[in-house]
Structure 1
Amino acid sequence: MIIHPAAQVAFLDTTFDVFDLNGTRWVRGDHIRTTLGIPQTTFKRLIKAHRSEFGAAMMATITAPTPGGAQQVRIFSPRGAARVAMLARTDRAAAFRDWVSDVLEGKAQPPLAHPEEPALPATLDLAARLVRSMALPSPDDLVPLLAPEARRVLRYRRLGLMTSEIVKLTGRRPTYVKDITARLRAIGLLGASHV
């Protein structure tokens, strides 16, 4: 039986398909691997080496739709996703574990991704929390973690482009560009001089 995702949520630059199994939010392993920056072969070795640590309540295999048609995919519960992040030890792992706790375990509910616009506002809210919690030397240290669309808006704003010009370049609505600009300002990546 094919199980379809119930929703989509975003962590930084990765959109996750969320599967609702018995009231628990599960996410695909390949999305976890991508967001943590782990090569596929390394991810497979990591899971194989620690298979005994992943019980049925943490990892499962389902048939889900993929771009290549219905296929078997590995999914992880919030506990399983957090365990993968602990084992991965990448730069994004700690932030990802916080996101799992907030979003997948339901402590915070970000807006679901709308097909017309990516879920960047939720991503930037998370970025603001990360800046405060990680005590980064500079907000600019966060730029590589932003979604590509947010980085584009940031670059255009820093070049002095107006909202109408950014709308033409990105194809996004003015309200979307203004919202991203406000959130970039809130995390300290843009000053008041950036219109």
Structure 2
Amino acid sequence: MPNHKNDEALTTCDSQGSLSNKSRKGNIDMNIVQNKELSFHNTNFAYMEMGGQVWLTAAEVGQALEYADDKAVQRIYSRHADEFTAQMTGVVKLTTPSGKQESRVFSLRGAHLVAMFARTPKAKEFRRWVLDILDREVAHSPIAKQFSDDELCSLAWLWRASDIMLTACESVTPLLKVAEHRQVGHFHSIGQELPRSINKAREVIKRETAHIEFHPWKDDNWSRVLPHLRQEMLQ
């Protein structure tokens, strides 16, 4: 298989929708492909979902753009290959009743870039159509996991440390008032301004760590911090 300028991966799909991915960096397991449909005028895209993205075949993109030549999109890609990333295009090897066939596919962003280079009357409308789909994808897509469990544990302890310091500030503020200490205003402000932010942080961290099991017999960082984080839940 020839190398491509954007270091794209070669994806192999079978007719049942399972796939594997081989690139120069090694073997990578990918999600199951789901074949669905999108329509743009007379073009019905039997699109695939791979790696959380929608992928369209070059042939169908060309049809939507109303190119008479089914190789037109491939030529657009060849002329501008350095502007496409591996997240925008790739080559899939489909297992069909007539055997394996290679086909170039484009993600929605890749299809939009193709349409930017296209000069057909439908190109402008197609670009708007793709952007509308991207907007819907963003609006309805689940938020990817941002932190590892170890990082979440560190954030939980950061919340715990701030909670301890806030409690200490609230305890010492009356003594500073009696002593007419010059820092009394600062400590009073801490007690008034920070609780809301600390409590909001607690709710977020508690939500993101809901999958962590509490084991009271363990002596580890999670077991020491979770009782404080989930205090009202454990009572």
Which TM-score applies when normalising by structure 1?
A: 0.50
The higher radius of gyration belongs to 2
Quick one: higher RCO (CA 8 Å, sep 6+), 1 or 2?
A: 1
